């Protein structure tokens, strides 16, 4: 199972760093007020950085490394090749499209059965 180190940008412009198994879900949790106290006080947040790690321990270590960086270096990471956020978001869009297509096909079958 993949683990991810992520950064969200808070409404006040600060970057919050954490780790998770599902970055998209985690962003939603932060925005629903179920994240860290800091992000709850600085909503909304926007997912700006995601880095895939091999395991839980590696994700924790990377989170600590990033937290120790000065803000300008964190901002450089957001624009670096290590950031896989676009890949993650494309995967989510593809899954959503497939789900919509599947439900449309199922609805079509149900409509035919109802006649």
CATH code for the domain of 29: 3.40.1440.10
Residue 38 in any domain: the answer is yes
In a domain? residue 49: yes
Q: Is residue 100 part of a domain?
A: no
- Is the alpha carbon torsion for 27, 32, 37, 39 positive or negative? positive
Q: Residue 14: helix, strand or coil by DSSP?
A: coil
The verdict on pTM exceeding 0.75 is: yes
Domain count within the chain: 1
C-alpha span between 74 and 7 (Å, rounded): 9
Tens-place pLDDT, residues 8-55: 999 999 999 999 999 999 999 999 999 899 999 999 999 999 999 999
Provide the CB-side half-sphere exposure for 40 (13 A, CA): 6
User: What sign results for the dihedral spanned by CA atoms 42, 46, 51, 56?
Assistant: positive
89 belongs to a structural domain: no
Does the residue 106 lie in any domain?
no
Does the residue 96 lie in any domain? no
């Amino acid at each position: 199972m993949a683990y991810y180190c992520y950064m969200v940008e808070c409404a006040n412009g600060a970057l919050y760093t954490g780790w998770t198994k599902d970055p998209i879900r985690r962003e939603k949790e932060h925005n629903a007020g179920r994240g860290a106290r800091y992000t709850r006080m600085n909503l909304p947040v926007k997912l700006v950085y995601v880095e895939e790690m091999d395991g839980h321990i590696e994700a924790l270590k990377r989170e600590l490394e990033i937290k120790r960086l000065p803000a300008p270096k964190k901002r450089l990471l957001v624009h670096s090749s290590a950031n896989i956020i676009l890949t993650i978001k494309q995967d989510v869009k593809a899954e959503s499209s497939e789900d919509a297509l599947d439900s449309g096909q199922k609805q079509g079958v149900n409509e035919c059965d109802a006649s």
